[in-house]
A = this chain, B = another copy of it.
Amino acid sequence: MGDVGDAVLSTVSNAARLLKEFRSREASIGVSELARRLGLGKSGVHRLLTTLVAEGLLERDPHTGGYRLGIVMFELGEAVKVHLDLHAAAGPVLAHLREQTGESSQVGVLDGVEVVYVDRLESAHSLRLFTETGRRVPAHCTSSGKVLLAHQPEPEREAFLTRPLPRLTPHTIVEPDALRDELTTVRARGWAEAVDEREIGVASLAAPIRDVHGDVVAAISIGAPVARFGAVPRRRHAPALVEAGEAISRRLGWNPESGVRSRDA
């Protein structure tokens, strides 16, 4: 069928796409609905579903008759957590940072062109700013995203810059050259900020987290409404944030002295 490089199992690929439909967090989804969304035949989708149910990745909602994610899926999600080590390493530091700054803090990693928040601590102020853990946001308009992009290997970073950068607010950086400069600044300065770029009224600050090899694998960030987070009070938090990032990095086994930052530009 394909011209070149079909080293991919189409059935498995379909199964994966099907699973990913459940990120929508709907209570349950039916056969026909899934077939429509995936562009596949009902019979094939039905076969996929029965196999995935048999394996425990999906289960049936006994009352609606629809399908939803199974418990095995939850287990696997938990396994990802510990494999990242981030949770163990970040927890206490997040708590300390919130205490210091009084604002919500979270840890995010890069997946493609988006940031996924894998850990989070709410602010004492109850104003909810971001989504829960597990949700994703575009990388180019968040402080975490800028940190992660800034420390990616050069080829990936340039590849990212060739893609269109969606404009979410009037302040979103959409020019590749402008973003490239911004990332250079971030790299030199050691932290990033984003104000009104993803959503009007929201400001955030982020710093890198390195693994044992010195690679930047995550970012720690704090966010707050611009109302109580103007330029001056915001930047006053930068040193604490950088220190928090380094604290987590040390817990991940990074040694600032011996650590040759293997992939930084």
Contact = CB atoms under 8 A, between A and B. Distances in A.
A71 to B, nearest CB: 4
A254 to B, nearest CB: 14
A81 B74 contact: yes
Contacts of A82: 25, 132
A48 to B, nearest CB: 6
A9 B48 contact: yes
A83 B134 contact: no
A56 interface: yes
A229 to B, nearest CB: 27
A11 interface: yes
Contacts of A132: 78, 82
Contacts of A13: 51, 54-55
A50 B8 contact: yes
Q: How many copies does the complex hold?
A: 2
A20 B19 CA distance: 15
A132 B87 CA distance: 12
Interface in A42-93: 47-48, 50-52, 54-57, 62-63, 68-83
A28 to B, nearest CB: 8
A79 B134 contact: yes
A75 B73 CA distance: 10
B69 A76 contact: yes
A260 B81 CA distance: 39
Interface string A4-48: 000111011101110110110101000000000000000000011
A46 B70 CA distance: 26
Centre residue among A47, A134, A135 by max chain B CB count within 10 A: A134
Centre residue among A15, A23, A69 by max chain B CB count within 10 A: A15
A121 to B, nearest CB: 14
A252 B77 CA distance: 23
A150 interface: no
Nearest to A84: B74
A132 to B, nearest CB: 7
Interface of A: 7-9, 11-13, 15-17, 19-20, 22-23, 25, 27, 47-48, 50-52, 54-57, 62-63, 68-83, 109, 111-112, 116, 118, 132-136, 213, 215
| Top 10 A-B residue pairs of the complex, sorted by shortest distance between their CB atoms | A77-B77, A78-B134, A16-B55, A74-B80, A71-B111, A9-B51, A12-B15, A69-B80, A8-B51, A12-B51
